[in-house]
Structure 1
Amino acid sequence: MAELESKRSQVARIRRTAVRALAAYPINEPRLTFIAHGENTTFRVDSPDGRFLLRVHRANRHGPGVDSRLAVGSELDWLAALQADTDLQVPTPIPTHTGEWTTVADDLVCSVLGWQAGRMHANDPRPIHFQRLGGVLARLHNHTAAWTPPVDLVRMRWDWETFFGNTMEYGGVSAADCWHLLPAPVRTQFDEIARRMRTVMAGLGTAPDTFGLIHADLHLENALFDANAVHVIDFDDCGLGYHLYDIAVPLWDNRYRDNYPALREALLKGYAEHRALPDLTQLNNFIATRDVAFGLWFAGMAQVNPAFAADLDRTMDYIHRSLEQIL
């Protein structure tokens, strides 16, 4: 691996991009505060006009050859539709001076969203949090089943090719090359999951009762709880995919908690309150698929992000031990 630019240097460079991008938005006297540097680089923006989230999107985030402006614009189209059609608490897309959802600065696509308040419970989840999250997932699926998206919708398609083929690019590394970055034991496990899921996904098909527009990343760090309300954030991974995958995501990173059975039951109960549950027979296989998606992403990001590189060995060891139990 080539020597990586330090995180401090990367953030400073992207901050300058963010400042240039803000000139395109009707936000007066903006003050930027760095939040995170991962898949995208994000900043809180404080202004007399309110508080906002600015995202500087990674190049080729949605796959090589995909127009990032169209892809991010399609994400914001869905957010706008959710706000118009439901009472779900999702971020408000902020248009530029010229009415566009995005702008480009230094060849990077940037977008601005209204700020979402609330408390994160990723470290101390209780069944009530999962029940409310399950209800949100069901209502998201209900909306997309009834919504007619724009004809030019551009989003990832979370099917077998995207999870296991060479559709995506992570940290500037093609998905196929990310497989070669995996430790041999993990790659063997991923190969087995790929074989399983080819059969599973073919059997499920893509009928509207199993497959549609999904959030694809609704774990507890992307849900902010405010009294009885759940504010859902980070639709950056949203795309066409299996409803079972959406249900698997919040279970995936909580499956080793002592109260996991209660959390799982609560999530499914909350979902069933708003929408019929899908067949759960393959739920554990979709949890394993999440391990694959996370592992390939992490391996690729470690090639460009020093924080990921420092944690790569520990993360791969965790994935290997986790998959030993499932397989």
Structure 2
Amino acid sequence: MISRRAQIARLRRVAVAALRHYDLPEGRLRFVSHGENTTFRLSCPDGDFLVRVHRPQRHGRDSDTPAAVASEIAWLDALRAHTELQVPRALRTPDDAATVQASAAGMTRTCSVLHWMDGRIHESSPRPAQLRLLGEAMATLHHHADSWTPPPGFTRISWDASAFFGDVMIYGETPAAQCWELLPAELRSRFDAVAERMTGVLATETDVGLIHADLHLGNALFVGGQVKLIDFDDCGTGPRLYDLAVALWELRDGERYAEFRDALLTGYLGRRPIDVARLDDYIALRQLAFDLWFTGTAQVNPAFAADLDGVHRWSLAMLDLVEGGVSGRRVRVG
């Protein structure tokens, strides 16, 4: 495993190569994140932009990465055109391409550029008012997807049992089936039980459509009483209740969980109905998906590897919490 610094340096060269395809003046390129994709912030006379270097097979082993990213951008364009939601706006090349193929440091990657969005993230300092705003925005997102007809060639992740429990996804560079094998025995047994329970639930779920699939407070920007939604990289077709579960997942083990849950549901239900009877089951599903992703990413990312044992312990504690129906008890470990 090469060092994190070396990985970022190589991918920065790819980002620089990608920017040559856009009609932008020279500017300062600063590192933002290196997790699922690797991102950089470009500051130049034309404004600020988010440069995304997309991981191959990010959307599944058989996915077409350029088509998948272009499809994400197509939904963002539609949301901006037909709703009041504030979501990222893609920058297109002079020939109107939504993505480019860029090569450097012996690798070729799909890249895209979004206009930078300002705002404050409250993931570590949540307030009920923020959850209410997030619930309203999420309902608007789902309502739009109910009536929107995607363009030809639209392709995104299908968040079904095969994606959650099978070998469809590639995490880091590790197939999902191998990630299951890397789990500690006790956690593997507990996740097997979640998979057995949720396979039937997913098969009979009726409220299914396009979802964000990663809409927690870390992917919401708050400015002046408004919320902006970012990071649609996981978006695809799945149960709408999964989106609500993701929003509450990291709050589930906190003392104010009931307050946050009520605020999110108040916002959502004011705009769109939904059955939340299985909310805790979907929170368990999110914990499973997160741990598998973290396990695979840890095989190629030293920063993730250092935290992996703590994440496994947190998963066991979270399953104890949601399967026991307990509320408001801090269980985060590591």
Fold match by TM threshold 0.5: yes
Deviation at 1:151, TM superposition (A): 2.2
Paired residues of 2:31 and 2:41 also in contact (CA < 8 A): yes
Paired residues of 1:200 and 1:282 also in contact (CA < 8 A): no
Q: Which residue of 1 aligns with 2:86?
A: 89
1:269-280 equivalence runs, <5 A: 269-276=266-273, 278-280=274-276
Alignment of 1:65 onto 2:62: yes
Deviation at 1:250, TM superposition (A): 1.1
- Look up the SS of the partner of 1:274 in the other structure: coil
What amino acid sits opposite 1:5 in the alignment? I
Q: TM-score, normalised by structure 2?
A: 0.94
For residue 32 of structure 2, the aligned residue among 30, 35, 47 is 35
1:43-58 equivalence runs, <5 A: 43-58=40-55
Paired residues of 1:31 and 1:47 also in contact (CA < 8 A): yes
Q: Which residue of 2 aligns with 1:220?
A: 217
Using the alignment, how far apart are the partners of 1:75 and 1:144 within structure 2?
A: 13
- Look up the SS of the partner of 1:76 in the other structure: helix
Q: Which residue of 2 aligns with 1:262?
A: 259
What amino acid sits opposite 2:70 in the alignment? G
What amino acid sits opposite 1:267 in the alignment? L
Using the alignment, how far apart are the partners of 1:73 and 1:204 within structure 2?
A: 28
What amino acid sits opposite 2:287 in the alignment? D
Using the alignment, how far apart are the partners of 2:10 and 2:281 within structure 1?
A: 40
- Look up the SS of the partner of 1:212 in the other structure: strand
- Look up the SS of the partner of 2:215 in the other structure: coil
Using the alignment, how far apart are the partners of 1:321 and 1:125 within structure 2?
A: 22
Q: Which residue of 1 aligns with 2:310?
A: 314
Q: TM-score, normalised by structure 1?
A: 0.96
Q: Which residue of 1 aligns with 2:102?
A: 105
- Look up the SS of the partner of 1:311 in the other structure: helix
Using the alignment, how far apart are the partners of 2:52 and 2:12 within structure 1?
A: 10
- Look up the SS of the partner of 1:32 in the other structure: strand
Deviation at 1:202, TM superposition (A): 2.1
What amino acid sits opposite 2:194 in the alignment? I
Identity across the alignment (%) = 51
Q: Which residue of 1 aligns with 2:154?
A: 153
Paired residues of 2:167 and 2:175 also in contact (CA < 8 A): yes
Paired residues of 2:253 and 2:318 also in contact (CA < 8 A): no
Paired residues of 1:166 and 1:176 also in contact (CA < 8 A): yes
Using the alignment, how far apart are the partners of 1:165 and 1:157 within structure 2?
A: 12
Q: Which residue of 2 aligns with 1:76?
A: 73
Deviation at 1:200, TM superposition (A): 1.1
Deviation at 1:229, TM superposition (A): 1.2
1:176-255 equivalence runs, <5 A: 176-205=177-206, 210-255=207-252
Deviation at 1:36, TM superposition (A): 0.6
For residue 289 of structure 1, the aligned residue among 285, 290, 294 is 285
Using the alignment, how far apart are the partners of 2:275 and 2:226 within structure 1?
A: 28
- Look up the SS of the partner of 2:101 in the other structure: strand
Aligned-pair Cα RMSD in Å? 0.8
Using the alignment, how far apart are the partners of 1:300 and 1:99 within structure 2?
A: 35
Structure 1 stretches lacking a partner, 5+ long: none
Paired residues of 1:28 and 1:47 also in contact (CA < 8 A): yes
Deviations 1:73-100 (A, max 9, x none): 0000000111111111001011012110
Deviations 1:123-168 (A, max 9, x none): 1111000000000100000100011101211100001111111110
Using the alignment, how far apart are the partners of 2:277 and 2:84 within structure 1?
A: 31
Deviation at 1:291, TM superposition (A): 0.6
Using the alignment, how far apart are the partners of 2:37 and 2:312 within structure 1?
A: 22
- Look up the SS of the partner of 2:52 in the other structure: strand
Q: How many residues align?
A: 319
